[in-house]
Amino acid sequence: MDIGVVIKKYRKEAGMTQEEMANRLGVTTPAVNKWENSNSKPDIELLAPIARLLDISLDTLLSFHENLSDTEIEEIIRKMDRMFSEEGYEKTYEWALRLIKEYPNCNMLIWQAAVMLDARRITDKCTNPEKYDKQINAWYELALHDENEEIQHHAADSLFGFYLRKKNYTKAEKYLDYFSEHDPMKSYYQGRLLQEQGKIKEAYDLLSTDCKEEMFPVLEKFKNDYTDLVFNTAKTYDIKLWMSGKYSIYKISIYENALATGVVNNNAIDSYYTVVEENNDYKININNLIAKEELNTENSNDYVRINVISRKIYIDYEEYEIKITNNTQKTILMDGYRKNNSMYLQDSVGGKKTAYTNEIPERLLIINPLLSITRTIKFNKSYTEKISSKGITFEDIILDYDEYKKQENKQEYSNVSNINVGF
């Protein structure tokens, strides 16, 4: 965090004006203003007096070994997203490089920044994407040794995919060690690895005799169906209906490595999957897609018209395609981040499912006067309860974005509207 941001934060917490702070330090008010706006930095001899005045340590003032919060990391990733479009890949990469040097122990930041840079060098105009291989993979390796197993898993997944694309199968296989033996994705990746090498027979040999007899009686059937496994009977894999209603989700007890190997013992792992029935066979959806729907429902007021075009429903989230039309003569912002969860799904009992903030960077929800945008927005944790979504609420529509940008205290901005679109 920039020293000016720190000074401003703790000055306000102390209930002190810029003028008061300047008088106590023996400097001018414009000098304090320049610090807080990052136009200059305080002289080194002033650092200790500033820290004492604000009742903080020098480490805090200088952001030394500061742990970034999840909110701060999200803001950094949003800034990276804007920089790719506004300044290009090279400048964004250099900025990320400096940032990671500033926070060398924040593996969550390192991993997320590496993912952004990894994906963007393929999709954006990057003249020589391969020159970044070494550094991006080095960041993944750092994240790989984090104490957080989730970060380890994501880093291993990224490295496995990279070396699989490069056809370096020995290195790709190394990263499978970071997946639990009970993780179905490990079995899936093992199968992909063997298939990429043309080792279909070796993959087939992983199956137990019972599994071959029941699911893949011939090698050719295994070859054609491996990535979309066929369950001949629900009973074999203990499939139980988890949720009734319009969509069906099943709870599947997978025994040891049964997803890929068919090996069955009493060490059961319960996982939730969507299951479809095709030709009297049960098939598991690897991507956990439950359903697609055309909605074409809309609502409007004096300021905006919102058309919810369609949705895709997955186990862990819902994905909506929406069209938003600005009916005013001013630029508007659909979510100003003034408050938490200002854009959310409503369920049948009034609960909220909030949007993934990294899926809706601020710049994508700015709409110019009398124009429309179409965006896809993801909402989290759709099916933690047996409740279906009834509509989308936009609780914090900023009606004058230019005015809003000038507002120092965004929480006090009052020119807002809201709208709900029911399904």
pLDDT exceeds cutoff 70 at 26: yes
Q: Pick from 100, 132, 108, 104: which is nearest to 119 by CA?
A: 132
pLDDT tens digits for 383-410? 544 556 788 988 889 999 999 988 888 8
215: pLDDT strictly greater than 80: no
Q: Distance between CA atoms of 76 and 61, rounded to whole angstroms?
A: 20
Angstrom distance (rounded) from CA 11 to CA 50? 10
10: CB partners within 8 A, 6+ apart: 54, 55, 56, 60
Tell me the C-alpha distance between 324 and 136, whole Å: 37
Distant-in-sequence contacts of 121-128, Cβ < 8 A, 24+ apart: 121/89, 124/84, 124/88, 124/89, 125/88, 125/89, 126/89, 126/90
Number of neighbouring beta carbons within 10 Å of residue 50: 23
Q: In what order do the strands lie in the sheet with 372-380?
A: 289-300, 304-314, 317-326, 372-380
Q: Is the pLDDT of residue 373 over 70?
A: yes
Residue 228: predicted pLDDT: 38
Domain ranges of the chain: 3-61, 70-178, 196-286, 291-422
Beta-carbon neighbour count of residue 386 at 10 Å? 11
What is the distance of C-alpha 25 from the center of its chain?
A: 44
pLDDT at 270: 43
CATH topology of domain 3-61: 434 Repressor (Amino-terminal Domain) (1.10.260)
Q: What are the structure tokens assigned to 242, written together?
A: 């988890």
Flag whether pLDDT at 357 surpasses 60.
Answer: no
Q: Give the pTM.
A: 0.41
Find, among 343, 288, 284, the residue nearest to 317 by Cα: 288
Q: What is the pLDDT of residues 70-101, one digit of tens each?
A: 788 888 888 888 888 888 888 999 999 988 88
What's the maximum distance between 2 C-alpha atoms anywhere in the chain?
86
Same topology, domains 3-61 and 291-422? Answer is no
Q: For residue 368, what pLDDT is reported? A: 93
* Coil vs helix vs strand at 353: strand
Tokens of 350: 């009034």
For the chain, give the percent of residues with pLDDT over 90. 23
User: According to the model, what pLDDT value does residue 311 have?
Assistant: 86
Which listed CATH number (2.60.120, 1.20.1250, 1.10.287, 2.60.40) goes with 291-422? 2.60.40
- Tens digits of residue pLDDT in 121-161: 766 667 788 888 899 999 999 888 888 887 888 888 889 88
For the chain, the first-to-last Cα distance in angstroms comes to 43
Q: What is the reported pLDDT for 139?
A: 92
Question: Residue 229: its pLDDT value, please?
Answer: 40
**CA 318, CA 288: separation in Å to the nearest integer?**
11
Write out pLDDT tens, residues 259-290. Answer: 333 333 334 334 444 455 555 544 544 445 66
Least confident residue range of 14-28, 289-303, 392-406? 289-303
In the structure encoding, which two tokens stand for residue 35, read together? 């610090």
